[in-house]
């Protein structure tokens, strides 16, 4: 029994030595020991509502829903200018009606108009000589001619059955004055620069935008959101939100200017409700989701403002053993923790090199060091509180359920586990002499032989070898071929207490 204890004492370092090493690691301020992430919630225990919302799978709505249907015939409404000719009432008998040259309004070429200009009032009526105001809103041009004829017959101006020439043409269609304000950039801008920290990964800094605005005059049946977008640059870019905000003219709605101003002061922004003074039309929704808009919501009227708001960039932040910085999240695709570490070029299964080795072009000598795998995601909740989520990158590689989705505002901190920190500390800080290893276990190297490269040595070189015995000294010799053979003994001191 005494001999067994003696052998154990000789082959293994004393317990006090390990305690001293561990105390030195703690005294050095090892981050693996003091990492607050150790108290985080493991990702596998996270409830579904806190795992993050996916942005993938969104689909653009049918663009035809942003326009309005074209009727089979033009319908008269307030704001139209009609050309009216009534023989012996508006014009002399047996006289040709005046002809007006064709005009082009927007991309519409109107045919020549006949008669005298008559404006359709706001109440949808027209004023003609010798009869009361006649309501023509909603009628076609042919229906308006018949209505004028009946009105004069009812007023006993025309005799029933007596034919009179009556012409109603469209001289100028009604138009709608609309403002379009856009915060998205008409040209692509670079928002990502190369960071000089860490592994020189891509880091988001900032981007400056310059808003644009258009004063549009849209003719009837083209006064819709689709036409307004087409005339001002097309669909919103990736730097804008996936929605269009329409602020209705306060004079047309039930809510006045003062009501909207008070609502803004009370809540920060007026509510976007269907049919309200402010409407929000989404451009991208998930499949099988009902559209929160109606057909009349896309029709624009005088004084309406179409607003395309810039998108607040979705950023996530990195620190710890990851290159520190702020980084841009994709707009339409998901990014999980593994992809985020690769995106910022952090260490991942590369032996914890100070320089990223993702390209596989660097191999350091020795057995290497453990790669850090303890990733902490600090996530802010809608209530203002924050939680710490613990992710094991090794487990995430094997199990897709462990690959937590990165959300806007997340802070990713990569650290070593305590075990990895101790191993790194031992391999980097503590230097165990070679002769000490031989002293505590002389039989460990018995019978071993190894070959070392000779550099610029002669061509004929015998392998370097050593032998051990149970005496208090060890002989290490090298034999070279040449004119004479020389053997030089090398003595290594015996550890204290050795036999």
- Please compute the mean of the pLDDT values over residues 23-36 and round it to a whole number: 55
Torsion sign (Cα): 414, 419, 423, 428:
positive
Q: How many Cβ atoms are within 10 Å of 193's Cβ, its own excluded?
A: 12
Examine the pLDDT at 255 and tell me if it is beyond 90: no
The predicted pLDDT at position 206 comes to 64
Output 14 or 491, whichever has higher pLDDT.
Answer: 14
- Asked whether the beta carbons of 65 and 284 are under 8 A apart, the reply is no
What is the spatial distance between Cα 118 and Cα 8, in angstroms, rounded to a whole number?
114
- Asked whether the beta carbons of 274 and 149 are under 8 A apart, the reply is no
Examine the pLDDT at 165 and tell me if it is beyond 60: yes
- List, for residues 192-212, the tens digit of each pLDDT value: 555 544 444 556 666 667 788
Task: Specify the residue for token string 């644009």.
Answer: 212
Structure token pair of residue 210: 């310059």
- Across the chain, mean pLDDT equals 75
- Asked whether the beta carbons of 150 and 134 are under 8 A apart, the reply is no
Domain 81-172: which topology? wza like fold (3.30.1950)
The predicted pLDDT at position 33 comes to 56
- List, for residues 268-318, the tens digit of each pLDDT value: 655 555 555 788 999 998 888 888 788 889 999 999 999 999 888 889 999
CA-based nearest residue to 37, from 419, 412, 400, 433: 412
DSSP code string of 267-336? HSS----TTSSEEEEESEE-TT---S--GGGGB--TT-EEEEPBPPP-EEEEEETSPPEEEEPPSSS--B
The predicted pLDDT at position 391 comes to 92
- Asked whether the beta carbons of 345 and 357 are under 8 A apart, the reply is no
pLDDT-above-70 percentage for the chain: 64
DSSP code string of 428-463? HT----HHHHHHH-GGGGTT-B-----TT--S--PP
The predicted pLDDT at position 197 comes to 47
- Please compute the mean of the pLDDT values over residues 97-108 and round it to a whole number: 77
What is the spatial distance between Cα 302 and Cα 425, in angstroms, rounded to a whole number?
73
What is the spatial distance between Cα 351 and Cα 477, in angstroms, rounded to a whole number?
36
DSSP code string of 478-497? ----SSS--------PPPTT
What is the spatial distance between Cα 153 and Cα 64, in angstroms, rounded to a whole number?
45
CA-based nearest residue to 113, from 75, 149, 167, 166: 167
Task: Specify the residue for token string 């203002």.
Answer: 384
What is the Cα gyration radius of the chain?
Answer: 42
What is the spatial distance between Cα 254 and Cα 347, in angstroms, rounded to a whole number?
60
CA-based nearest residue to 182, from 213, 204, 209: 213
Euclidean distance between the first and final Cα of the chain, in Å? 18
Examine the pLDDT at 373 and tell me if it is beyond 70: yes
Residue 106, Cβ density class (10 Å: 0-12 exposed, 13-18 middle, ≥19 buried): middle
Region label for 327, one of left (φ > 0), alpha (ψ between -120 and 50) or beta (otherwise): beta
- Asked whether the beta carbons of 60 and 284 are under 8 A apart, the reply is yes
Q: Biggest alpha carbon distance in the chain? A: 147
Where exactly does CATH 3.30.1950 map onto the chain?
81-172
Where exactly does CATH 3.10.560 map onto the chain?
36-54+334-355+368-415
Beta strands in 184-299 (DSSP E): 192-194, 202-204, 212-219, 243-247, 278-282, 284-285
What is the spatial distance between Cα 290 and Cα 293, in angstroms, rounded to a whole number?
9
Residue 203, Cβ density class (10 Å: 0-12 exposed, 13-18 middle, ≥19 buried): buried
Least confident of 2-16, 248-262, 275-289, 451-465: 451-465
The predicted pLDDT at position 186 comes to 74
Q: Across the chain, how many H-helices and E-strands are there?
A: 10, 26
Domain 36-54+334-355+368-415: which topology? Outer membrane lipoprotein wza fold like (3.10.560)
The predicted pLDDT at position 238 comes to 81
């Amino acid at each position: 029994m005494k001999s067994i204890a003696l052998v154990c004492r000789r082959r293994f370092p004393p317990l006090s030595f390990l305690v001293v090493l561990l105390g030195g690691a703690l005294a050095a301020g090892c981050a693996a020991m003091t990492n607050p992430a150790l108290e985080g919630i493991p990702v596998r225990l996270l409830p579904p509502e806190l795992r993050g919302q996916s942005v993938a799978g969104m689909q653009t709505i049918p663009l035809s829903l942003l326009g309005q249907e074209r009727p089979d015939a033009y319908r008269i409404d307030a704001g139209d200018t009609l050309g009216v000719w009534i023989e012996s009432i508006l014009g002399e008998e047996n006289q040709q009606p005046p002809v007006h040259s064709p005009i082009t309004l927007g991309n519409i070429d109107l045919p020549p108009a006949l008669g005298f200009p008559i404006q359709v009032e706001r109440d949808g009526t027209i004023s003609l000589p010798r009869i009361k105001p006649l309501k023509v809103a909603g009628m076609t041009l042919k229906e308006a001619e018949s209505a004028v004829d009946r009105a004069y017959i009812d007023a006993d101006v025309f005799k029933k059955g007596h034919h009179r020439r009556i012409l109603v043409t469209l001289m100028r269609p009604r138009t709608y004055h609309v403002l379009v304000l856009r915060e998205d950039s008409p040209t692509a801008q670079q928002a990502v620069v190369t960071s000089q920290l860490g592994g020189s990964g891509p880091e988001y800094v900032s981007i400056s935008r310059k808003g644009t605005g258009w004063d549009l005059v849209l003719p009837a049946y083209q006064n819709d959101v689709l036409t307004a977008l087409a005339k001002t640059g097309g669909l919103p870019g990736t730097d804008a939100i996936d929605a269009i905000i329409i602020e209705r003219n306060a004079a047309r709605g039930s809510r006045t200017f003062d009501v909207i101003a008070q609502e803004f002061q009370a809540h920060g922004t007026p509510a976007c409700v269907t049919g309200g003074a402010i409407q929000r039309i989404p451009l991208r929704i998930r499949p099988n989701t009902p559209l929160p808009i109606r057909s009349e919501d896309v029709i624009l009227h005088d004084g309406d403002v179409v607003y395309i708001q810039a998108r607040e960039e979705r950023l996530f932040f990195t620190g710890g053993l990851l290159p520190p910085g702020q980084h841009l999240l994709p707009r339409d695709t998901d990014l999980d923790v593994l992809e985020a570490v690769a995106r910022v070029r952090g260490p991942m299964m590369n032996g914890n090199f100070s320089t990223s080795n993702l390209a596989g072009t660097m191999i350091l000598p020795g057995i290497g060091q453990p790669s850090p795998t303890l990733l902490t995601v600090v996530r802010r909740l809608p209530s203002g509180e924050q939680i710490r989520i613990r992710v094991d990158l090794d487990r995430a590689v094997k199990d897709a359920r462990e690959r937590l989705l990165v959300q806007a505002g997340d802070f990713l901190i990569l650290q070593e586990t305590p075990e990895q920190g101790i191993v790194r500390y031992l391999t980097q800080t503590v230097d165990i002499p070679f002769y000490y290893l031989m002293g505590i276990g002389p039989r460990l190297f018995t019978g071993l032989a190894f070959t070392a490269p000779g550099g610029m040595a002669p061509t004929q070189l015998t392998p370097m070898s050593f032998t051990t015995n149970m005496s208090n000294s060890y002989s290490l010799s090298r034999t070279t071929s040449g004119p004479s053979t020389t053997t030089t003994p090398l003595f290594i001191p015996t550890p204290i207490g050795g036999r």
